[in-house]
A and B are shown apart, each in its own frame.
Chain A
C-alpha cells in the first residue's frame, strides 16, 4: 500500500475514533439521565440488565417500541423523538451484541 495513503488512514483513525467515542459517551450519559427521570419511577435498572443477549439490530427496533408503549399505554412522561432516540441508545448498549 502507498505510504501516503497509509499515513492518511492512520491520521483519520486517530482523529475520528476518540471523537466518535466521546460523542457516544455523551449520548449514553444523556440516555442515563433520561432513564433516571422517565423510567426509574416504575422500573429498577435490572429491567434493562436482565434482558437477553440479542443483536444490536433487534434492540434498536425493540427499545423505541417499548418506550412508545410506555408513554401511550401506561402514561409514562412524554419525550421528544430525539430523547426517545437517546434513551433507546442507552438501553440498547447493555445487552446488544453485533
Chain B
C-alpha cells in the first residue's frame, strides 16, 4: 500500500471534530491547518492518568462521606470533583492526608497547647483559654496538598500516587492568631524561628515526629520568626463553623493561607520558639522540598538545589462536567471550575475549545478574599456532535498564569498546568 499521509485517520477525525467545535462555538471561521495540527495533539491530564493508573475505589472513614481512596492505611482520601463546585467545601467531604499514626481519643477538656522555647513566659493553654483570652478570627482559605494533581505528570512522580485534583478544598477557618499567642508569651531577642508539632506519631520510635516551621524565603532572607507573626496565620479550632474534624486535625490545626498543606500541621500540641533556623526532617532533603531550577521530565534533581516548598502557584481546575462526560446536541450546560493562587488574587479565567488557539473569558464568581478560591463558569451550547476538548487557565493580578505543560518535579509537587477535559456530544 502506498503512503497516503503521515496523519492517522484518528487524528483527522479528532481534528475535524475540534474544528467543528470551534466553529460552532465561536461562530467564526474554520481553523487554519497549523491550528488544526496543534489542536489534534491535545492530551488531557485524564489521558495521562488512564495511561498509568486505574480508577480509585471509594472508601469511608468516620465523619466523612465515601471519598476517593488513594490509600486506606494510613488513610489518604481525595475529594471527588463533584464536591468542589461550591465556594465552601463541606467538612464531611474535605480531603484528608494521613501520614503517621493519628492521635486517638483526644480529650478536649484535658488538652493543653504549649508555647515554649525562646519566650519570656511559657504558656499552657486550654481550648477554653484560647477561645476566651484571644481575639477570634475567621478566614476563608484554600488548603491544598503539595502533591495535588500529581497523577497528571508524565512520566509519573516517584511517589507513584494516583492523585487527581481533589487534594484541595476551601473552608472558613476560625481560631486565634499565632502572633497573639507569641506576643502573650513574649518573644526573646534570641528568637529566630518557630516550630509547630503535631500529636500524630511515627509507628517506630526511630521515625520522625511531624513538625514544621515556615519555609525560609530564599530570595530575601529575613528572620523566620517575623513570618510567623503574619496576622493571617491561625491556630484553628473550627472549620466551617464546626469543630475541626478529627481527620483534619481536631482539636487544633495550623492554618497558613496561600502556603501548601504540609505546613498546616494537624493536631497541634506545641509551638516552640527556636534560637536557630529550623531544619527538621520534613523540610530538608527531598521531604517537601522543590528544585530551584527546571528539571527535564523524569530527570533527577540534585539535593543541593532543593529548598522547602512554599506558596501556591496560579491554578485553575475544571470541576464540572467530569472528563469524558457525554452531552446532547443543543442542550446547553455550564463549564464550572475554581481558580486560586498564592494570595495575590485571581484576575481572569480563560477557556479554550480548540486546543488553546482561541481563549474566551469565563465569568468569575464573587471575590471572597485573597486566600479563597474563585468560582468560575462558562456557558457551553454544544451545537454539533463530536468530541470537544475544553481547556482552562487562570491569570492572577500580577499577570502570572499557568504553563501548558507542567513543571516536572521528582516528587510531583506544585502541579499547575492548564487544565483540560474531553467532552463527547451525541
Contact = CB atoms under 8 A, between A and B. Distances in A.
Interface of A: 41-44, 46-47, 50-54, 62, 73-76
A75 B52 contact: no
Interface of B: 51-54, 56, 69-74, 151, 155-156, 158, 160-162, 202-208, 281
Contacts of A75: 202-207
Contacts of B158: 62
A74 B202 contact: yes
A50 B54 CA distance: 8
B162 A43 contact: no
Ranked nearest first, the 3 interchain pairs of A and B with the lowest CB-CB distance are A75-B206, A75-B204, A52-B52
Contacts of A51: 160
Contact of A52 (B53, B70, B73, B204): B53
A76 B208 CA distance: 12
B52 A54 contact: yes
A62 B71 CA distance: 19
Given A41-B203, A43-B73, A46-B72, A52 B156 contact: yes
A74 B208 contact: yes
B155 to A, nearest CB: 8
A54 B52 CA distance: 7
Nearest to B206: A75
A70 to B, nearest CB: 9
Given A62-B158, A74-B203, 10 more contacts: A41-B203, A47-B71, A50-B56, A52-B52, A52-B151, A53-B51, A54-B156, A73-B207, A74-B204, A75-B207
A20 to B, nearest CB: 29
Contact of B71 (A50, A53, A74): A50
Nearest to B72: A44
23 contacts: A42-B74, A44-B72, A50-B53, A50-B56, A50-B71, A50-B160, A50-B161, A50-B162, A52-B53, A52-B156, A52-B160, A53-B52, A54-B156, A62-B158, A73-B208, A73-B281, A74-B202, A74-B206, A74-B207, A75-B203, A75-B204, A75-B206, A75-B207
Given A62-B158, A73-B281, A50 B204 contact: no
Contacts of B52: 52-54
Nearest to B57: A46
A52 B51 CA distance: 9
B1 to A, nearest CB: 30
B424 to A, nearest CB: 25
- The CB with the most chain A CB atoms within 10 A, among B54, B70, B71, B160, is that of B160
A92 B206 CA distance: 27
B51 to A, nearest CB: 8
A50 B202 contact: no
Contacts of A54: 52, 155-156
Given A53-B52, A74-B206, A74-B207, A46 B156 contact: no
A46 B69 contact: yes
B71 A44 contact: yes
